[in-house]
Amino acid sequence: MSRTALPEPLAEGYSRFVNQRAPAEQALYQQLGQGQSPHTLVLSCADSRVDPATIFGAAPGELFVLRNVANLVPAFDRYSDDGHEGSEVGGQGPLTATAAGLEFAVGHLRVSCILVMGHARCGGVAAALHQCHHPEIAEDKGSGRYFIDRWVGQMTDDGRQVLADHPGADADTLQQQLEFRNVRQSVERLRSYPFIASAEAEGRLSLHGGWFSITDAALWWMQDDGSFSSVEA
Ligand SMILES: [Zn+2]
């Protein structure tokens, strides 16, 4: 395969876009060329099955989407005082990519909602649970899980709490409980960012949690008590 040609699945998709969607949305793209004003920031997992624009039927320009492994919000206090890229706090390495997106969307684009959206069968959550059972972290950068372990290591305290709260539970239950807890904790950690806390206090920003079931394509929404209920469409 030539490096200068698009791989076939991408070429096919782009052809459909150019021939079908782009002409139909020409006016929208013209307008978006002047700037963006998304109403919502969605932080979702990088998982290929969980696409916020698809789930919410969103047009280009509606959602500001951040994606990382396991839809994690790093705690504000994990950054050094100057928030410098590359600062190694708590051995977790640079975490500023997600924070930069939050800062831009809330402070500059002034989105009115943030949704942290977890999902079923999350590989990042599974990796965090695995780490709870096998706490030795790979030190070899060629191990194939060096960076994964460091990233999902942000979730292992929550994983240990889930294990303590559900003694004897089966693996599927533990997995789902940590998926829920991780969303709850990530929403709570959003409030550790001063620009988010002040925007929420001013009433111009609301924070939400969700969870996507994948198999039956159902969205569950986090309630005030931290539980999750399926959404009536
Ligand atoms: Zn995931």
Q: Which residues contact 139 (CB under 8 A, 6 or more apart)?
A: 146
Question: What's the pLDDT score for residue 87?
Answer: 41
What region does 131 belong to: left with phi over 0, alpha with psi -120 to 50, or beta? alpha
Q: Would you say 70 and 155 are in contact if contact means Cβ atoms under 8 Å apart?
A: yes
Interval 174-208: pLDDT, tens: 999 999 999 999 999 999 999 999 999 999 999 99
Give the Å distances, CA to CA, from 227 to 212, 213, 224. 14, 15, 7
Rounded to the nearest angstrom, the distance between the alpha carbon of 18 and the centre of ligand 1 is 30
Domains and CATH numbers, the chain: 1-35 (no CATH), 37-230 (3.40.1050.10)
The model's confidence at residue 141, banded by pLDDT at 50, 70 and 90, is confident
CA of 205 to the centre of ligand 1 (A): 25
Strands 113-119 and 63-68: unpaired
Residue type, 46: A
211 bridge partner residues = 118, 220
Q: Report the separation in Å between the CA atom of 29 and the middle of ligand 1, taken as the mean of its atom positions.
A: 30
What tokens were used for 173? 């239950």
pLDDT digits (tens, 9 = 90+) for 65-95: 999 999 999 999 876 555 444 444 444 445 6
